[in-house]
Amino acid sequence: MDVNMKKSRSAEEVNSEDTRKGPWSVEEDTLLQNYVATHGDGRWNSVARCAGLKRSGKSCRLRWLNYLRPDVRRGNITLQEQITILDLHSRWGNRWSKIARHLPGRTDNEIKNYWRTRVLKQARNLKCDVDSEQFKDALRYVWMPRLIERIEPSSETHHPPPVSLFELHPNPTPSLHHQNGLHGSCSGSNALDSSSAKLETPLEPEDMGHNNVSVPGVCENMNDRDVEQGNITLPFAGGDSMESLWDDENLWLMQQLCDDLEIKDNFLA
């Protein structure tokens, strides 16, 4: 830690006796809301002082951004939003605030919580490392296409046959994309047809090192800069489905793919 940090922290510590922590009371919320409504946000240390709150500026900022802000949406992450999170996470990794910018009304904290409580939990259930290629490929090539299929109202409902996904996709390479768009027509297993795979467009420099792959048929024609700049609306933003991604059938498929990829990795090792 640098000298600045030590100094700024010691300044905070001077007031630590007066500073409240823990859950916010209704009164505190009201004080903060009224103050921001009158004076605007920013300069959070001043806000904390002037509003008569015995809170740190950081705490006020966090409370405002994650809870009190008028446009914040809480709870009920829709199916569409879940897929958006999965896709953007596959591009950018744990860049929660960046992902949150593409989900109007959602906060980085909420998305992070969603990831940790739902996605990590499922990875544990599947005995997959969430950072493993197995899990990522399973998400990309099975889970998300199936969810897209459900979302697209015009698509026909058909389920992939219970065959080895290893056979269908013997070389699931993260740098591959699929040319056959999946909007309304793909099934999870069909999406794995590696014969139609193509190389991805060049990576953005800042995304190098992340697992930079879009889900087939989801964002394959998008360039990350467009997504980042909001030039492209993700196809599922704003839906109202509360359906969970984590149903038994999808879990079975995920387990299948994880197992297949593990077998393949062991074989090649």
Partner DNA sequence: AAGGTGTACAACCGCACTCAT
Partner DNA sequence: CATGAGTGCGGTTGTACACCT
Residues at the site binding DNA, with contacts judged by CB under 7 A = 1-5, 7-9, 11, 20-24, 42-46, 55-59, 61-63, 66-67, 74-75, 94-98, 108-110, 112-114, 116-118, 121
* CB-based contacts of 111-116 (< 8 A; 24+ apart in sequence): 111/85, 114/77, 114/82, 114/85, 115/85, 115/89
Q: Which is nearer to DNA, 48 or 147 (CB)?
A: 48
Nearer to DNA, 117 or 229 (CB): 117
Least distance from DNA to the Cβ atom of residue 150, Å = 20
In angstroms, rounded to a whole number, what is the distance separating the alpha carbons of residues 124 and 120? 6
Q: Which is nearer to DNA, 40 or 161 (CB)?
A: 40
Query: Judged by CB, which is closer to DNA: 1, or 269?
Result: 1
Task: Tell me the C-alpha distance between 176 and 197, whole Å.
Answer: 6
* Cβ atoms < 10 Å from Cβ of 68: 17
Beta bridge partners of 197: 178
Hey, what amino acid is at 64? W
What is the rounded distance in angstroms from the CA atom of residue 44 to the CA atom of residue 58?
Answer: 7
